Every structure is written in C-alpha cells, then in structure tokens.
Structure 1
Amino acid sequence: MKVAIVTGGTRGIGRSISIELYKEGYKVIAIYQGNKATAQSLADEYPDIDVQTCDISREKDVSKIIKTIYETYGRIDCLINNAGITRDGYFLMMSTEKWGTVLNVNILGAVNISKSVLRYMKVKKNGGKVVNISSTSGVTGQIGQANYSATKGAIISLTKSWAKEFAADNINVNCVSPGFINTDMTSNLKNKAEIIENLIPLQRFGDPQEVAWLVAFLSSDKANYITGKNFVIDGGMIND
C-alpha cells in the first residue's frame, strides 16, 4: 500500500485531499497543528487515516515525525504540501510579525517537510510524487496579501526547481493553485456574489473535492510524465 502525507490535512482543501487519497487506496497520514476539533472529526469519520500533529515550521519536529512515519510504514510515496495560513493587511501596515508567521508556515514548513521526505524517497529508490498547493494569489498577486502572495509565488518556484533536481530520482513535483474555493477562508467574504459575477466565468466558487480530484491525479501513476507544472484551478478566473 502506498503511503501519502498531507500537511494541513484535517480541514478545508487538505481534508478533502486526505479523504480522496484514502479512497484511492493510500495509507494517509494527515498532519495538523492547532485545530484539535477538525482533527478529531476526521479521525472519528475515517479511523484508518493516521492523524498526527506537528509544527512543520520546526525542523527537528518535522525530522522526528517523518522518521517515525517511515519506520512505521516502510515507505513514503507521496507528499502533499497543503498547510498554509494568511495574515492579511495592507503592505505599509503589515508588521514584521505577520511576515514572519506566514513565511515560517507557508515556505519554511514546506521546505522542512519536503527535505525530510525527499531524502527517504531517494533512499527507497521507488520514485515518488510531491504536490505543492499554491494559490492564484501566487500567480497574480492580491491587494492586502503581499506576504501570502509572496509565499505562494515562492511555492510555484520551488516546485519548478525541485522538479528538475529530483527528476533523475523518478520523483515528480507539481503544483496546484486554487482560486476561490468554498472553505473557512472564503466563507466570510462579504463580496462573494460580486466576485462570482465579475471574476469567475463558471459563476461559482469551487468545491474542495474538485481540488482533491486534481491532486489525486497528480499523485497517481497516470501523471508519471508530468513534472514541474503549476495547475491553476479557478473556474476560468485567470488566463496564466
């Protein structure tokens, strides 16, 4: 059985990805930090999904949990770097703390866990899949999200670099950039109807399941000849 790790895997898009990969036959380890209620909900509904907590911005904690996962299951076939946070604000009013918090989770967290997982993938020599979750904000930028947009743009660049660096190891690295998806992050948007009417040709927000389907495809053998690509899933909102 193939083993997949999903960071931020107990809520929103991450939860849908964890469930979809589980249904596709993976042993899924859903990593979370902080929100115990969503973690418990996933564990109760899908007891075969291994729910674990880790602060992925702490390199030692990441090394420890990845070592444990590898020793427990004997392999790691797939990593989904989904964990991400926002700390929005206008650029001139954005504190160093807001920058640091977002950078630590969105970039350093992905770097820490990818470094550990890729080492094990190379040792096992069975190849593997890494799917990074970025955002349309990382492609086009967004007012009030300089820090978030910068980190998500960096994730796209990391994807392209890792894809080239690990191609010889038969490790595929791709990126998925969702637009407006129905999650906790977008549930309180006051201008949702305006966004749908003016920006999204398909005239609706996406569903987390639709992102999960794309991620599951990129994690499968059907995507063996795809690497270094960023897939925008946004209902036709941008043309990049």
Structure 2
Amino acid sequence: MPGRSVLVVGGSRGIGLEVARQMAESGDRVAVTYRSGEPIVGLFSVKCDVTVPEDVERAFAAVEAEQGPADVVIINAGVTEDCLLLRMAEEDWAATIETNLTGAYRCAKRAVRGMIRARRGGRLVFISSAVAMLGEAGQSNYAASKSGLIGFARSLAREYGSRGITSNVIAPGLTETGMTAVLDQERLDHIIAQVPLGRIAQRWEIASAVRFVASNDAGYITGAVIPVDGGVAMGH
C-alpha cells in the first residue's frame, strides 16, 4: 500500500516520531502533529492541541489539503501527571483523561469521518501502555486513560469493520525515550527486573509493531491489543 496518507497524532518526538520516520521511509506520505516546539524537518507538521476541538478539525483539514484524506491515523498524543491517589488534584486527573482519552475520541471521530467519505477503508492505531493492564502506583489517572483506549478501540472495530476500517491498540512497555531518561538508575533497575527480557524497549521496536498493524498484511487484524513490552504484562 505505497503512498498512503498517514497522520501521526503526537508525532513530534519519542515513539510517535520514530513511527512517522519509519512510515515515511516505507513510502507513505506522513504528517505529524505537535503541541509545542518547532515543526519536524522533512515531515509535514501541523500544530495541534488535542484538548481543543477546533485544533483537531484544523489539523485534519490541513493534512487533507496537503496529502489527501488520511488512510492511516496513529493516535499517540499523551501526558502524565503522576501522583498517588490521595494527593492527586482533580486537575491532574482531568488533564490526563482529557488529553489521553478524550483527545483520542476527537481524533478518531474526525479520522473515521474522512475514511468513510474516501470509501477505501483505513487503519486506526492507538498507542496505549502496559500500565493499562498492570496498573502502576502513582499512575492511576494514566492507567485509566490508557485502559479506556482499549475499550474505545474495540468498540470502533465493531462499529466500522464493515467499512474496511481496522482499529487496533499497541501497548508498549517502558521504552527508551525522553520520559525514561529522567528516571534515576535505582528506579530503572527496579523496572527492568520485572521484565522477562531484562531490558527496556527501543523506539524502533514499538514503531515496527505499529507499522505492521497499519499495513496491508494486517488487513484481517482488528480489535487487537498487541503488547510490545518484553513480556511484562503477559497473561493480561
């Protein structure tokens, strides 16, 4: 499926940027959204805050004007506001749910609208987390938002499968990104000790899984949750 129109929501750094670069290298026309910072050199970049409905509409319209309706939409935008429950402010809960889950709803709704109009099917890929299955102390808001993506994606798989639109979830474990770079060695060693493969993931490993479920080879896979976590959440 060369030359498809691909949009990576939250594609300016980390896993999202690696996904965008891999898909561009495979011949797709790739756009990314970013909330802050500068546009990404070599990729069509659109500023978008997924908590603002008007931003989402503008971003999709800009992508459609540049490279046609999105055939593949990878929803990766996310934030963390870590805190133990009894210390968690309502604002921290609301901000996490608003970006990670409600933002995904806004993007998926707009994506499906374009895919149905184009009448050539499509791929929705949501980036969740191993934390969605395991839970994590201090991340109840994040885990709830990432768990919500699973039920959301599976519901869309049932709603739009007849239209040729697949909806799948990638659930990474701890991955080498800017987020992990701030962890102290003791915390990192503790996390790695729980991973059967004994290491954290590289960004390209997550991106490769995303690229597969977005490909023609995965045309009969929908409603799946694919862990890329070194075995840490096996059995869930």
**TM-score with structure 1 setting the length:** 0.93
Moved more, 64-73 or 49-58: 64-73
Q: Which runs of 4+ in 1 moved over 6 A?
A: none
**Structure 1 residues 124-176: Cα deviation after superposition (integer angstroms, max 9, x where no partner):** 11000000000011111110001000000000111110111010110010000
SS in structure 1 opposite 2:60? helix
- SS of 2:50's equivalent in the other structure is coil
- For the Cα contact (< 8 Å) 2:11–2:17, is it kept in 1? yes
Partner of 1:221: 216
Residue 217 of structure 1: CA displacement? 0.5
CA–CA separation in structure 2 for the residues paired with 1:20 and 1:8? 15
Query: For residues 100-139 of structure 1, what are the structure 2 equivalents within 5 Å?
Result: 100-139=94-133
In 2, Cα distance between equivalents of 1:231 and 1:167: 18
Letter in 2 for 1:111: Y
Letter in 2 for 1:150: A
Deviation at 1:187, TM superposition (A): 1.4
Give the whole-Å Cα distance in 1 for the aligned partners of 2:149 and 2:138. Answer: 19
* SS in structure 2 of the partner of residue 185 of structure 1: helix
Q: Structure 1, residues 75-132: CA drift from partner, whole Å, max 9, x if none?
A: 2100000010000000011001101111111011111111111101001110000000
1:60-79 map, 5 Å: 60-79=54-73
Q: Indicate if the aligned counterparts of 1:85 and 1:102 stay in contact, CA closer than 8 A.
A: yes
* Counterparts of 1:195 and 1:88, CA distance in 2: 16
1: CA distance between counterparts of 2:60 and 2:82?
A: 31
The equivalent of 1:58 in structure 2 is 52
CA distance in 2, matches of 1:211, 1:16: 9
Could you tell me how far apart the structure 2 residues matched to 1:75 and 1:148 are?
A: 31
Instruction: Give me the whole-angstrom Cα distance separating, in 1, the residues matched to 2:191 and 2:132.
Output: 18
In the alignment, does 2:14 pair up with 1:20? no
Residues 75 and 126 of structure 2 are in contact (CA less than 8 Å); yes or no, is this contact kept in structure 1? yes
Of the three residues 188, 195, 204, the one matched with 1:192 is 188
Aligned length: 231
Q: TM-score, normalised by structure 2?
A: 0.95
- Paired residues for 1:21-100 under 5 Å: 21-34=23-36, 36=37, 39-40=38-39, 42-43=40-41, 47=42, 49-100=43-94
Q: Is the 8 A contact 2:166 2:222 kept in 1?
A: yes
Q: CA deviation at 1:72?
A: 2.9
Structure 1 segments unaligned to the other structure (5+ residues): none
Between 153-162 and 61-70, the greater mean CA deviation after superposition: 61-70
2:227 pairs, out of 223, 226, 232, with 232
Aligned to 1:166: 160
Measured after TM superposition, the shift of residue 16 of structure 1 is: 0.5
8 A contact 1:2–1:75 mirrored in 2: no
Residue pair 1:102, 1:151 contacting (<8 A) in 2 also: yes
Q: Between 204-213 and 54-63, report the one with greater CA deviation.
A: 54-63
Compute the displacement of 1:17 (Å): 0.5
Query: Partners in 1 of 2:12 and 2:23 — Cα distance?
Result: 13
Q: Which amino acid aligns with 2:20?
A: S
* Alpha-carbon distance in 2 for matches of 1:170, 1:88: 38
